[in-house]
Amino acid sequence: MHRFGQAHSRADQIQRSLGLSALVGMVATIWLGLFITPPDQFMGDLVRLIYIHPPLAWVAFIAYGMNFLASLAYLWPRTRDLRWDQLAGASAEVGVLFTGLTLVTGSIWGRPAWGTWWTWDPLLTTTALLFVLYLGYLALRRVPDDQELRARRSAIAALIAFIDVPIVYFAVLWWKSLHQAPTVLNPTTHKTYIHGSMAWTLLLGFVAFTLTYAWMVMIRYRLGAIETRALKTQISSALRDRQLEGSHE
């Protein structure tokens, strides 16, 4: 009991320091991004979205990578453990959230920069498909069933989805390149001189968002563990009650 308590408090400590550093990183990114870095010569204040949009997409990819690795670890007989399944689920949930945010921020940037909320650009299209692929995965995870069965089913579904991502990307890339001239990206973006403070802010954005990801996954993972424990306790207490009822009769 004592050891369990110790482990618990250590996890609490890690979670708290992760949360704190994520918060500090976020505040610093916002402050640098909004007030310190200069506006772009061509795009003006719109360029400030660059401090959050790429980091959001980066976190989404990390999340799906982690989901894939955790699912593999669950399927591998030597490392089979329900904790991998919980990690896979937690990571996918955060991944879907960040993919959604990537799409939204991309759209907000696309409207003034490209003149449209949406374009069938390969990266955009792949991201949108990723979003629906993993929405399906999360829906599958919500189907109530025996825990081990659900874990195995989810792990295989995660493999099917993850393997599809490069195929989708290449299909969409060729589809565009054969279909019409490349999307008219704002040519200035390629020429924009990245100011020193802009580069640092972007780098800080990556770190801050990665920390936020780790913090969110940790909370979700621990919440999942608590849910499982609560379910088991409920079942065993219900069994005990039933036995007591039997002994009274």
Instruction: Pick the closest to residue 159 from 61, 83, 67, 87 (CA basis).
Output: 67
Separation CA 151–CA 16 (nearest Å): 29
Task: Please tell me whether residue 44 adopts helix, strand or coil conformation.
Answer: strand
Task: Give the nearest distance from C-beta 195 to other proteins in angstroms.
Answer: 39
Single-letter code of the amino acid located at 78 = R
**Torsion 231-150-103-61 (CA) sign:** positive
Smallest distance, other proteins to C-beta of residue 115, A:
25
User: CA–CA separation, 75 vs 151, rounded Å?
Assistant: 9
Taking the complex as a whole, how short is the minimal distance between the CB of residue 24 and other proteins, in angstroms? 37
Residue 143 is a binding residue for other proteins (CB under 8 A)? yes
147 binds other proteins (CB under 8 A): no
Separation in Å, CA 60 to CA 25, 41, 100, 221: 18, 30, 9, 17
One residue of 26, 157, 194, 207 binding other proteins per CB under 8 A = 157
The residue from 1, 178, 181, 244 that contacts other proteins (CB under 8 A) is 178
Binding range to other proteins, per CB under 8 A, among 3-11, 30-38, 94-102, 152-160: 152-160
Contacts with other proteins, 62-101, as mask; x by CB under 8 A: ----------------------------------------
* For other proteins, the closer CB: 141 or 220: 141
- 3-class secondary-structure state, position 201: helix
What is the residue whose two structure tokens read 């990307």?
169
**CA–CA separation, 6 and 62 (whole Å):** 30
Shortest distance in whole angstroms from residue 221 CB to other proteins: 24
> One symbol per residue from 25 to 64: x for binding other proteins (CB under 8 A), - otherwise; what is it?
----------------------------------------
C-alpha 92/C-alpha 107 separation (Å) is 22
Of 100, 125, 114, the closest CA to residue 185 belongs to 114
167 binds other proteins (CB under 8 A): yes
Give the interface segment with other proteins, choosing from 32-40, 41-49, 149-157, 188-196 (CB under 8 A): 149-157
Question: Which residue in 81, 100, 101, 164 binds other proteins (CB under 8 A)?
Answer: 164
